[in-house]
């Protein structure tokens, strides 16, 4: 779908690494260039026309995000540098002050490093305990398994909505419902889900959500954090400076501004934020429903075609979601990726920054294909042909 | 060396299991892992040094064809050698990789990677274990 919108798709590549980052449509690229060329000014300094335009664009993006994830208030949307930044702000700006030694945080072994390491650091510094929700035989999370590890000390559940390893979609709505009954807060890592599934803050009842623009057809280095207003109002900013203070005096007295600008110290990534807003407009124009339907069909097709090859092992056949983890039998994943690269097919080899999953997965490294709506069945057919002819893989890569 | 011969040496060394031995519980072995330098290759190296001689060396792990084969070749090259000789071999190998003047005669099968510079993405694979072993050898030498 909509391939003509993406300049990168004129480069004769088959791009199957959308989990790492997505390609950018021309309208997003243009919106960034438009800011720098036509109204390049700072925000929150609205004393002249172009600066007022920046302010209205900037705040307009907040509203676009609110609408996109169905949050209640625009004040619940904080601009960040990306998903990693968002998670760190919540862990070290909120939970660091709310948790105490002995409190437990539940994650899984298939989380991304950015949803594990901050918790490890908190574990070392204030003595919380990081525990793992056992995964089922498909490496997925169930409420049933969750309930087995929840106890009176459990205070936080921190999970990706969709994992970057096998792309499974977590039952976040049920998890939040269960969590809230037990006075547990839920932090959702939305890096892989944003732009690929519908996330609804009010219906899902998520407490915190973090996401990056670059995985939803937007620019790098920018993202957002959603938090329920009362939680954000109780969160401590990690950065202090211009734009976030209401007043300060020479004796050290500081009064902070309101939520969410309290968390946006210094000049923000204005061009990036505008690009992120444009990416949301773009997704809305195509329609998230259409994207979901098409990506689902494509994934089914990919799995069914890959399954026909007897030299291919698929690790997540039964997973719903747009990611497939596979290997060529007896070939190291990186060698497979090198081989596919010879045919300009971009896939990711590795453990996908989920290093501790090895314990469960029984295989340390896989090739990962993560689809986006601009991928096609023809591209999959080309991949299948190349994989089918991989008997001489070493002849080609050595 | 012609391409087919190179390929067959690389593949032989990739498939060779004779150096794939773990010595996790033997304190006579220095252990090191290549994972520190990369997200994906994961090779454990075991080095036993006695009287300044590399008495034994082996490895195990999961890595690509280039890093596995180059590790195997290096191990065969330096087993039984003195620390100084092993360091000299690795120095020479690195010179070859960096397209500098080097002494071909002491590199044995390792010269199959003499044109790896043409594939910049694989230079790291071809030097991973060399760097790891080099570091351990220098550490050992300097501690004496
Ligand atoms: C599941 C998941 N969480 C978090 C991140 C981190 O996102 P970013 O690098 O944009 O901060 C990623 C990126 O790969 C991811 O896949």
Domain boundaries, chain A: 3-24+288-397, 27-285
Region A115-130: mean pLDDT is 97
pLDDT digits (tens, 9 = 90+) for A219-230: 999 999 999 999
CATH number of A27-285: 3.40.640.10
Q: Is A337 on the interface with B (CB under 8 A)?
A: no
Region A22-27: mean pLDDT is 98
Does 3.40.50.720 match the CATH number of domain A3-24+288-397?
Answer: no
Of A335, A350, A395, the CB nearest to B39: A350
Q: Give the separation between CA A326 and CA A159, rounded to whole angstroms.
A: 23
ipTM > 0.90 (yes/no): no
Q: Give the separation between CA B56 and CA B73, rounded to whole angstroms.
A: 14
Q: Is A46 on the interface with B (CB under 8 A)?
A: no
Q: Which pLDDT score, from 0 to 100, does residue B144 have?
A: 78
Residue among A190, A181, A192, A196 nearest A158 (CA) = A190
Region A244-260: mean pLDDT is 94
Of A335, A353, A364, the CB nearest to B64: A335
CA dihedral for A338, A216, A377, A6, sign (positive or negative): negative
Q: Edge-to-edge strand order for the sheet containing B42-50? A: B29-33, B42-50, B53-62
Residue A231 has pLDDT above 90, yes or no: yes
pLDDT digits (tens, 9 = 90+) for A128-177: 999 999 998 888 999 999 999 999 999 999 999 999 888 899 999 999 99
Burial tier of A56 (Cβ tally within 10 Å: 0-12, 13-18, 19+): exposed
Region A172-199: mean pLDDT is 97
For residue A346, the 8-state DSSP code is: E
Structural domains of chain B sorted by starting position, each given as residue range(s) with its CATH number in brackets: 3-143 (3.90.1010.10)
Task: Work out the percent of chain A whose per-residue pLDDT is above 70.
Answer: 96
For residue B82, the 8-state DSSP code is: B
pLDDT in tens, chain B (144 residues): 888 999 999 999 999 999 999 999 999 999 998 775 565 778 999 999 999 999 999 999 888 999 999 999 999 999 999 999 999 999 999 999 999 999 999 999 999 999 998 888 888 889 989 999 999 999 999 987
Using the atom order of ligand 1, give the atom closest to the CA of residue A220. 10
Residue A327 has pLDDT above 80, yes or no: yes
Q: Which residue has the higher pLDDT, A330 or A103?
A: A103
Residue A151 C-alpha to ligand 1 middle, in angstroms? 29
Contact between residue B19 and residue B76 where contact means Cβ atoms under 8 Å apart: yes
Region A13-33: mean pLDDT is 97
Note the helical H segments in B16-144: 65-78, 83-97, 120-143
Tell me the whole-structure pTM to 2 decimals.
0.90
**Cα-atom radius of gyration of chain A, to the nearest Å?**
22
Residues of B in contact with A366 (CB under 8 A): none
Q: In whole angstroms, what separates CA B61 from the centre of its chain? A: 14
Residue A213 has pLDDT above 90, yes or no: yes
Output the CA–CA distances (angstroms, integers) from residue A264 to A77, A80, A188, A241, A259, in the order listed.
Answer: 11, 8, 21, 9, 9
Residue A191 C-alpha to ligand 1 middle, in angstroms? 5
Neighbours of A51 (CB within 10 A): 17
Helices then strands, counting H and E runs in chain A, come out as 15, 15
């Amino acid at each position: 779908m909509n391939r003509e919108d993406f300049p990168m798709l004129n480069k004769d590549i088959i791009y199957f690494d959308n989990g790492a980052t997505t390609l950018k449509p021309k309208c997003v690229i243009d919106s960034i260039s438009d800011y720098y060329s036509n109204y390049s000014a700072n925000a929150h300094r609205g004393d002249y026309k172009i600066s007022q335009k920046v302010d209205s664009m900037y705040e307009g993006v907040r509203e676009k995000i609110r609408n996109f994830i169905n949050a209640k208030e625009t004040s619940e949307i904080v601009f960040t540098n990306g998903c990693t930044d968002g998670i760190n702000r919540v862990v070290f700006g909120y939970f660091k002050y709310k948790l105490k030694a002995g409190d437990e945080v539940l994650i899984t072994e298939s989380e991304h490093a950015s949803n594990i390491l901050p918790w490890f650091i908190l574990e070392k510094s204030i003595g919380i305990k990081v525990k793992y929700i056992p995964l089922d035989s498909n490496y997925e999370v169930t409420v049933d398994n969750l309930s087995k590890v929840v106890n009176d000390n459990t205070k936080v559940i921190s999970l990706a909505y969709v994992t970057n390893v096998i792309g499974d979609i977590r039952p976040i709505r049920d998890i939040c419902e269960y969590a809230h009954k037990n006075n547990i807060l839920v932090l959702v890592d939305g890096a892989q889900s944003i732009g690929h599934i519908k996330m609804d803050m009010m219906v899902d009842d998520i407490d915190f959500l973090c996401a990056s623009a670059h995985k939803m057809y937007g620019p790098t280095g920018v993202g957002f954090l959603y938090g329920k207003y009362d939680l954000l109002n109780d969160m401590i900013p990690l950065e202090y400076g211009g734009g976030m203070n209401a007043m300060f005096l020479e004796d050290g007295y500081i009064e902070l501004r309101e939520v969410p600008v309290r968390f946006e110290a210094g000049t923000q990534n204005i061009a990036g934020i505008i690009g992120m807003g444009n990416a949301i407009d773009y997704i809305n124009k195509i329609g998230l429903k259409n994207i979901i339907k098409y990506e689902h069909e494509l994934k089914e097709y990919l799995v069914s075609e890959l399954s026909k090859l007897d030299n291919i092992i698929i690790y997540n056949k039964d997973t719903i979601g747009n990611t497939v983890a596979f290997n060529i039998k007896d070939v190291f994943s990186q060698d497979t990726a090198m081989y596919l690269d010879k045919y300009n097919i971009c896939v990711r080899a590795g453990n996908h920054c989920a290093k501790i999953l090895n314990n469960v997965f029984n295989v340390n490294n896989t090739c990962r294909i993560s689809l986006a709506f601009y991928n096609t069945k023809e591209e999959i057919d080309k991949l299948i042909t190349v994989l089918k002819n991989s008997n001489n893989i070493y002849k080609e890569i050595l | 060396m012609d391409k087919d011969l190179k390929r067959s040496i690389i593949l032989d060394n990739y498939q060779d299991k004779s150096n794939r031995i773990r010595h996790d519980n033997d304190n006579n072995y220095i252990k090191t892992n290549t994972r520190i330098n990369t997200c994906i290759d994961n090779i454990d190296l075991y080095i036993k040094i006695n009287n300044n001689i590399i008495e034994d060396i082996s490895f195990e792990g999961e890595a690509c064809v280039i890093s596995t084969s180059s590790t195997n070749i290096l191990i065969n090259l330096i087993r039984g050698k003195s620390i100084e000789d092993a360091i000299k071999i690795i120095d020479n190998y690195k010179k070859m990789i960096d397209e500098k003047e080097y002494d071909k005669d002491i590199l044995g099968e390792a010269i199959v990677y003499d044109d790896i510079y043409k594939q910049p993405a694989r230079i790291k694979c071809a030097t991973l274990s060399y760097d790891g072993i080099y570091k351990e050898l220098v550490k050992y030498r300097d501690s004496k």
